Amino acid sequence: PSSAKTCPHELLTPFLPITPHSLFLQVNHRCPPGVTITSIKVSPAAERLRYILGEDDDMPNPTLFTEMDTLQQDGDELEWKESARWVKFEEKVEDGGERWSKPHVSTLSLHSLFELRTCLQTGTVVLDLEGYSLPQIVDEIIERQIDEGMLSPDLREKISFVLLRKHRHQTKKPIHRSLADMGKASGGGARHAHSRSMNDIADTLSTDQLRNKFMKKIPRDAEASNVLVGEVDFLDKPFVAFVRLAQATTLGGLTEVPVPTRFLFILLGPTGKAKSYNQIGRAIATLMVDDLFSDVAYKARDREDLIAGIDEFLDEVIVLPPGEWDPKIRIEPPKKVPTADKRKSVYSLNELGQPNGTAGGSGGHAEDEEIVCVFVRFCGGLFLDIKRKLPWFPSDFYEGFHIQSISAVLFIYLGCITNAITFGGLLGDATDNYQGVMESFLGTALSGTVFCMFSGQPLIILSSTGPILIFEKLLFEFSKNNGIDYMELRLWIGIHSCIQCFLLVATDASYIIKYMTRFTEEGFSSLISFIFISDAIKKMVSHTQYYPINTDFKPDYVTAYKCECLAPDPSESILGSIYHYSRVTIKLLNITDLDWSQLSKKECVKYGGSLVGNTCKYVPDLALMSFILFFGTYSMTVSLKKFKFSRYFPTKLRKLISDFSIFMAIMTFVGLDRLIGLKTPKLIVPTEFKPTRPDRGWIVLPFGKNPWWVYLASFVPALLVTILIFMDQQISAVIVNRKENKLRKGCGYHLDLFWVGVLMAVCSFLGLPWYVAATVISIAHIDSLKMESESSAPGEQPQFLGVREQRLTGILVFVLTGVSIFLAPILQFIPMPVLYGVFLYMGVASLSGIQFWERIKLYMMPSKYQPDFPFLRHVPLRRVHLFTLVQIICLTVLWVLKSTVLAILFPVMILGLLVVRKMLDMVFSQHDLAWIDDILPGKDKKDKKKKGDKDDTKKKDKKKGRADDSKDKVRNVKIYCHQLADLEQKKPC
């Protein structure tokens, strides 16, 4: 009732946490003791914010650049001097006045926030002012204060005179500068941005403002908020004004950068409180760059809306006790700035009654809804993929024209040719050269180019895999032992596999990827990464067998070392001579005619001689040099990749070095190898375009060499190949398309599988190897194309924007692979250890960001040193270790199978991972799985069904609930009023 003395409405909240806001209300309003706070759901301030921020806007509010100027005395004249600025973090002009401080988190005193709240309550607040110049805005503010009786008319000229003084911005540079600053425009050189004459502020932008290089740190659509604070001797009470312009307007020399001003905060007060005014100015400046308060400032309708925004800010403020923290310490900006979405969601009208998100933050794959729809019609998924990707087809080419694409092409190209040579050599040994390095190069170029041109996800890189190699070896041995032509049998297996892939595409079998949770993805990805790492190390260790390190060599005894070639004993020789073949005749050569002392090591062994001496086994330390090249390439790549986070050199140079880190590392150690001059093993590339085996052509005929039943029986091994292709392709595609990569052009699981099936048939007819998505190389391809924000605020880490999705890099990689046979004179200088170092980097880099790998490292960490992972906050550590142990066991089983003949069953074991994951539902709760894995789709449906049943029950009781709520509110208000009446000895309500 109006006669009762009530508490402020801000106290009517369901809970009273100890926050600065609650302390402020307790101290300043002194609520009468004994008053019971009733269970009203939200405070009027929160309800006000909900009404302001709950409306959906198509366009987000611009980013605010905030500048604070303080009034300074220069002799007998006054001027405004820039003292601090904010984009996201605070930068302060150091006491020397020649440099900006490092960006840091603003630390505010509670007292300054309380005083700011009072300033906005008692000062002038003008919203949507039609302002076109600073003098006009100042006149409008002064006029309002005079009309409201807040300012004496005789002070008009003095206030106007002070507010229109010139602004001196911080563009003065020291004489001695770092190398990183050399070449940059100095803004004002060694002079101030404005002349030192104390005339009125300029109405137009100066040349120094237009040339200010700080603009690259500010988004293009940004607006400015200017804070002016100072003390004068003619005021006896503060002059406070908060202004929001209807349209952002450039106010001449008011701001150091040419950004239009939207907000203006003015605080002039009596002398003696300059420090307090400065803290209030810092408080409003910090509020203006707060995401939530800036939204309030843009949408506020009156003074109370701004007060509600400050109250919300006070509720979120964290207090650091003065005895446990030094206020002089500047807090470094966090590596990842938390968003204000969670704070805003509390006030969203569309999310009332809705949870803020799922427990694990994943909620399954982003493409689940699309995949569910593929059962609509025959080949529905394929048609949807084509429909989704076709509009992006032109941009898939012109978006590839960027300098970052060059580094990606060089990196992936070297990985592809190394992989092609390695697998080509192994295939040649396994198939008696029916498929070799030449076939591997041609197949890689053909399959990769076609796939990148027409596939649904061109970021995927095709390559041969270990299980396919083992299948080819077993198939060749089976054909050889049973008198069956290997190439013809392989052709029919490829045809059957192609048809089976088409059936999988037509029936939308890609739906199974919904059940590939993090458990399956990380197990498969980790296995492939470990294979890359182990293979690279194995190949390096093998060099010590061919080129042993000379541990017994002693330089002081070099004169005693010798090696001689001795002729064989004629009496012990079965043949007294050897045959030397020429092109036409056979020339008989007697061993007695040879000068054995002049023969080389190879010739001595060839003609049957024997090497005698303690240096006959000596070779240069090629193994040691190879390891230097191997680890040097890897270490330098890792170091240069992290160089973009370094403190040295300008940002663009650091990013350029990071993008070309792999190419620079390779060129460095190729140069080192040439400088040393040792004959380390080099890259061997075919120089002639012809099949590896002379008796085979480029086309394999389907009939004529095998019995008719082989054409039908090949359906059985083709089924195993299809399972292998399907699982490898789809798991790699899921990893590439995971939401962490922020791909915007969508996926194409069905279209990808369609083209893999087509290429299976084409490669079978040409006698080329079969290809499928290569997980590690595809991940490396994505990492090399990641985009980051170019204009990041000072102190803010560049934000990951997504991946440069295009087809150009993949096409160029595979075209270069095809023409590599003509680049043999250049490629022959690249040492194989350098390329193995690239392989090692690919394997290690693909492990980064895998939660499974992070959980493995937890086994070796004491609890107090463990990182603050989100899942550790919600899942007991023993349950985390148990889940990790299950994954380790599964990975070990897959590794053992991979190393045996049973590797042909590898795709079946990948399917087994899905079964194991399903069984984990009986061991772990859905809450735990939501944090350390993903919830299976079936569980989501059950949860939705339960939720739907609950919703139906709620709907039935809706009318009854509304009536009960109304009764509760009336009853609570009556209780509250009765208590107040008792305190004030008034009549009850």
Give residue-wise pLDDT tens across range 386-407: 888 888 888 888 888 888 888 8
- If you average pLDDT over residues 789-817, what whole number do you get? 78
CA-CA distances (angstroms) from residue 492 to 163, 360, 466? Answer: 87, 47, 21
Tokens encoding 169: 């911005």
For the chain, first and last CA: distance in Å? 7
Bridge pairing between strands 77-86 and 167-168:
parallel
- Tell me which of 291, 317, 343 is where a domain ends: 317
User: What would the pLDDT profile of 923-945 be if each residue is shown by its tens digit?
Assistant: 888 888 888 887 776 555 555 55
Q: Which helix (H) or strand (E) holds 227?
A: strand 223-232
Residue 35 lies in a domain: no
User: What would the pLDDT profile of 286-303 be if each residue is shown by its tens digit?
Assistant: 999 988 898 889 988 888
Which amino acid appears at position 211 of this protein? R
Q: At 36, is the pLDDT very low, low, confident or very high (cuts 50, 70, 90)?
A: very low
Burial class (CB in 10 A: 0-12, 13-18, 19+), 255: buried
- Helix residue spans in 607-714 (DSSP H): 622-641, 651-659, 661-676, 708-713
Query: How would DSSP label each residue in 398-428?
Result: HTT-SHHHHHHHHHHHHHHHHHHHHHHHHHH
- Tell me which of 275, 302, 317 is where a domain ends: 317
What is the tally of structural domains in the chain? Answer: 4
Q: Rounded CA gap, 202 and 195, in Å?
A: 11
Tokens encoding 461: 């890189």
Q: Do 670 and 619 form a contact (C-beta atoms < 8 A)?
A: no
pLDDT confidence of residue 57: 59
Q: Do 513 and 734 form a contact (C-beta atoms < 8 A)?
A: yes
Whether residue 447 sits in one domain with residue 402: yes
Q: Rounded CA gap, 897 and 869, in Å?
A: 33
Residue 296 lies in a domain: yes
Please, which residues have CB within 8 angstroms of residue 783's CB and are 6 or more apart in sequence? 845
Whether the per-residue pLDDT at 196 is higher than 60: the answer is no
Main-chain dihedrals φ then ψ at residue 714, nearest 5 degrees? -65, -10
Q: At 280, is the pLDDT very low, low, confident or very high (cuts 50, 70, 90)?
A: very high
Whether residue 831 sits in one domain with residue 705: yes
Please, which residues have CB within 8 angstroms of residue 776's CB and are 6 or more apart in sequence? 528, 529, 532, 842, 843, 846
Q: At 573, is the pLDDT very low, low, confident or very high (cuts 50, 70, 90)?
A: very low
pLDDT confidence of residue 118: 92
Whether the per-residue pLDDT at 175 is higher than 70: the answer is no
Q: Rounded CA gap, 80 and 83, in Å?
A: 9
Whether the per-residue pLDDT at 771 is higher than 80: the answer is yes
CA-CA distances (angstroms) from residue 216 to 212, 220, 288, 900? Answer: 9, 9, 20, 57
Q: Rounded CA gap, 940 and 983, in Å?
A: 54
- If you average pLDDT over residues 609-627, what whole number do you get? 74
Sign of CA dihedral 167, 170, 176, 180: negative
Whether residue 751 sits in one domain with residue 662: yes
Residue 365 lies in a domain: no
pLDDT confidence of residue 266: 93
Percent of the chain whose pLDDT exceeds 90 = 7
Query: How would DSSP label each residue in 761-823?
Result: HHHHHHT----EE-HHHHHHHHHHTEEE-SSPPTTPPPPEEEE---SHHHHHHHHHHHGGGG-
Whether the per-residue pLDDT at 198 is higher than 70: the answer is no
Q: Rounded CA gap, 660 and 398, in Å?
A: 21
More confident position, 515 or 440: 440
pLDDT confidence of residue 239: 92
CA-CA distances (angstroms) from residue 854 to 409, 531, 802, 864? Answer: 30, 19, 23, 16
Whether residue 448 sits in one domain with residue 436: yes
Q: Rounded CA gap, 615 and 823, in Å?
A: 38
pLDDT confidence of residue 506: 84
CA-CA distances (angstroms) from residue 612 to 136, 443, 600, 602, 608? Answer: 103, 48, 13, 14, 13
User: What would the pLDDT profile of 218-262 be if each residue is shown by its tens digit?
Assistant: 888 889 999 999 999 888 889 999 999 999 888 888 888 888 899
Whether residue 108 sits in one domain with residue 255: yes
Which amino acid appears at position 594 of this protein? L
More confident position, 642 or 513: 642
Q: Rounded CA gap, 933 and 362, in Å?
A: 9
Please, which residues have CB within 8 angstroms of residue 666's CB and are 6 or more apart in sequence? 414, 633, 830, 834, 838
Instruction: Give, as one character, the DSSP assignment of residue 93.
Output: B
The CA dihedral of 452, 454, 457, 463, to the nearest 10 degrees, is -40
Tokens encoding 512: 């199974």
User: What would the pLDDT profile of 729-738 be if each residue is shown by its tens digit?
Assistant: 888 888 888 8
More confident position, 690 or 459: 459
Main-chain dihedrals φ then ψ at residue 552, nearest 5 degrees? -90, 0
pLDDT confidence of residue 171: 65
Residue 758 lies in a domain: yes
Place of tokens 């109304």: 966
Tokens encoding 312: 């919300």
More confident position, 37 or 409: 409
Q: At 285, is the pLDDT very low, low, confident or very high (cuts 50, 70, 90)?
A: very high
Mutual angle of helices 110-122 and 274-288, in 10-degree steps? 80
Q: Nearest CA to 640 among 624, 663, 610, 673?
A: 663
More confident position, 216 or 23: 216
Whether the per-residue pLDDT at 352 is higher than 60: the answer is no
Whether residue 599 sits in one domain with residue 531: no
Angle CA 971–973–979, to nearest 5? 105
Q: Tell me the average pLDDT of the chain.
A: 75
pLDDT confidence of residue 597: 67
- If you average pLDDT over residues 142-157, what whole number do you get? 88
Burial class (CB in 10 A: 0-12, 13-18, 19+), 734: buried
Whether residue 838 sits in one domain with residue 895: no
pLDDT confidence of residue 78: 86
CA-CA distances (angstroms) from residue 425 to 414, 438, 541, 725, 763? Answer: 17, 9, 18, 22, 18
pLDDT confidence of residue 766: 86
Q: Nearest CA to 468 among 437, 420, 429, 427?
A: 427
- If you average pLDDT over residues 891-897, what whole number do you get? 82
The parent domain of residue 820 ranges over 381-545+635-650+657-674+688-849
Q: Do 62 and 224 form a contact (C-beta atoms < 8 A)?
A: no
Q: At 921, is the pLDDT very low, low, confident or very high (cuts 50, 70, 90)?
A: confident
Q: Nearest CA to 379 among 502, 506, 509?
A: 506
pLDDT confidence of residue 779: 82
Burial class (CB in 10 A: 0-12, 13-18, 19+), 563: middle
pLDDT confidence of residue 939: 55
Of 61-70, 227-236, 539-548, the range with the lowest mean pLDDT is 539-548
Whether the per-residue pLDDT at 469 is higher than 90: the answer is no
More confident position, 584 or 201: 201
pLDDT confidence of residue 114: 92
pLDDT confidence of residue 614: 63
Q: Nearest CA to 456 among 730, 825, 99?
A: 730
Q: Report the CATH number that the domain containing residue 96 is assigned in CATH.
A: 3.40.930.10
CA-CA distances (angstroms) from residue 286 to 87, 280, 311? Answer: 9, 10, 14
Q: Rounded CA gap, 649 and 628, in Å?
A: 28
Q: Rounded CA gap, 212 and 905, in Å?
A: 64
HEC readout, 508-520: CHHHHHHHCCHHH
Of 6-10, 250-254, 825-829, the range with the lowest mean pLDDT is 6-10
- Helix residue spans in 229-367 (DSSP H): 274-288, 291-299, 303-316, 341-345
Whether residue 300 sits in one domain with residue 392: no
CA-CA distances (angstroms) from residue 4 to 35, 36, 149, 971, 980? Answer: 13, 15, 30, 18, 7
Place of tokens 């973090």: 89
pLDDT confidence of residue 115: 92
Whether residue 725 sits in one domain with residue 641: yes
- If you average pLDDT over residues 466-486, what whole number do you get? 78
CA-CA distances (angstroms) from residue 734 to 522, 755, 779, 887? Answer: 11, 17, 11, 19
Instruction: Give, as one character, the DSSP assignment of residue 985.
Output: T
Residue 624 lies in a domain: no
Bridge pairing between strands 77-86 and 90-92:
antiparallel
pLDDT confidence of residue 193: 37
Tokens encoding 811: 């096409």
Q: Rounded CA gap, 424 and 442, in Å?
A: 10
Q: Nearest CA to 839 among 304, 286, 422?
A: 422
Whether residue 858 sits in one domain with residue 837: no
Bridge pairing between strands 239-249 and 124-129:
parallel
Which amino acid appears at position 296 of this protein? V
Question: Alpha carbon 659 to chain centroid distance?
Answer: 14
- If you average pLDDT over residues 126-144, what whole number do you get? 89
Whether the per-residue pLDDT at 26 is higher than 60: the answer is no
Whether the per-residue pLDDT at 532 is higher than 60: the answer is yes
Which amino acid appears at position 567 of this protein? A
pLDDT confidence of residue 978: 46
In the three-class reduction of DSSP (H, G, I as helix; E, B as strand; rest coil), residue 264 is classed as strand
pLDDT confidence of residue 587: 36
Whether residue 492 sits in one domain with residue 403: yes
Residue 184 lies in a domain: no
Task: Name the CA radius of gyration of the chain, rounded.
Answer: 38
Place of tokens 């909620």: 363
pLDDT confidence of residue 357: 36
Q: Rounded CA gap, 924 and 875, in Å?
A: 10
Q: Nearest CA to 748 among 388, 430, 400, 490?
A: 388
Q: Do 462 and 447 form a contact (C-beta atoms < 8 A)?
A: yes
Whether the per-residue pLDDT at 872 is higher than 60: the answer is yes
Whether residue 825 sits in one domain with residue 873: no
In the chain, DSSP finds a helix count (H) and a strand count (E) of: 36, 16
Residue 12 lies in a domain: no
